Amino acid sequence: MNSLSKSQELLKALRLKETAHYLPTLVKEAETNDSSYLTFLNCILEYEQKRREEKQLEKRLKWANFPFQRTIDEFNLEEQQSLSRKQLNQLKELTWIEQLYNIIFLGPPGVGKTHLAVGLGFVAINQGYKVMFITMGELIHTLKTEEISRKSQTKIKRIRSADLIIIDDLMFMAMDQHEANLFFHLINDLYNKSSIILTSNKAPKEWGELLGDPAITTAILDRILHKAEIIHLNEDSYRMKHRSSIFN
């Protein structure tokens, strides 16, 4: 076994598999640049750190379960003038996550609520936060099947351990008392532990009609709105403005 192969095996034994695979390239670059031993060692360590960070990012992205990949910079503010550039930049700073604030995007379908939520989720992931995206319908199904489904148990565990949870299409359908109770207990578990982004086409004052029980409604609202920023997106639907047509 030559020296290079031996070094690669030693790196693998130390669980530095990414660097072991890339070592021949690093050695060649060091020889070309006539690098010192210390510079070469730093190159090895920096490469391993970079790959680990990239793998962690890939893992967080997969874990988040976003419905699409769309960044916050792709959001067209000219199409949605209910939100200013300054407000968007403040949201991107993510200080509200550190402060455990919730963000609620309200507005009719097609105004960009989900795009904004996912875009902020991408920003959070790139800054090292754990993010989880789930629709309200999927969330209720997951809560109802948690006791009998390992998949649901894993999903709920990830939600409870996330720094930021995005719940899309909140209150799009009425809940029975059991569903409302399950939802309340989850919100209660997340209260003062994680930040939540909610998207909804119904204002909080209308949520009671869908939750049914006034006591549960009050308890949920109390926890969600205690520290929350409500952003109303009132422009016309972006999808309707830019829809395709079969006519010229």
Give the helix ranges, DSSP H, for the chain: 3-13, 17-33, 37-64, 85-93, 95-98, 113-126, 136-144, 150-161, 177-190, 204-211, 214-225, 238-241
Query: What is the pLDDT at residue 216?
Result: 86
Rounded to whole angstroms, how far apart are CA atoms 208 and 200?
14
Say if domain 72-241 classifies as CATH 3.40.50.300.
yes
**1-25 pLDDT, tens per residue?**
688 888 888 888 888 888 888 888 8
Confidence of residue 241 (pLDDT cuts 50, 70, 90): very low
Q: What φ, ψ does residue 104 adopt, rounded to 5°?
A: -120, 115
Query: What is the pLDDT at residue 52?
Result: 85
Rounded to whole angstroms, how far apart are CA atoms 147 and 64?
22
Query: What is the pLDDT at residue 244?
Result: 41
**66-85 pLDDT, tens per residue?**
999 888 888 888 877 788 88
Rounded to whole angstroms, how far apart are CA atoms 190 and 171?
18
Rounded to whole angstroms, how far apart are CA atoms 95 and 245?
42
Mean pLDDT of 198-225: 85
Residue 236 has pLDDT above 70, yes or no: no
- Spell out the long-range contacts of 222-228 with Cβ–Cβ below 8 A and sequence spacing 24 or more: 223/187, 223/188, 223/191, 224/102, 224/104, 224/187, 224/196, 224/198, 225/102, 226/191, 227/99, 227/100, 227/101, 227/102, 228/101, 228/102, 228/103, 228/104
Residue 62 has pLDDT above 80, yes or no: yes
Treating both helix axes as pointing N-terminal to C-terminal, what angle do 177-190 and 214-225 enclose, rounded to 10 degrees? 20
Q: What φ, ψ does residue 22 adopt, rounded to 5°?
A: -90, -5
Choose from 9-13, 160-164, 217-221 the range with maximum mean pLDDT: 160-164
Confidence of residue 235 (pLDDT cuts 50, 70, 90): low
Query: What is the pLDDT at residue 245?
Result: 34
Residue 115 has pLDDT above 90, yes or no: yes
Mean pLDDT of 170-182: 83
Average pLDDT, the chain: 86
- Closest Cα partner for 197 from 123, 142, 110? 123
Choose from 38-52, 87-101, 170-184, 210-224 the range with maximum mean pLDDT: 87-101
Tell me where in the chain the CATH 3.40.50.300 domain(s) lie: 72-241
Query: What is the pLDDT at residue 8?
Result: 82
Query: What is the pLDDT at residue 214?
Result: 83
Mean pLDDT of 212-221: 85
165 three-class SS: strand
Rounded to whole angstroms, how far apart are CA atoms 81 and 120?
18
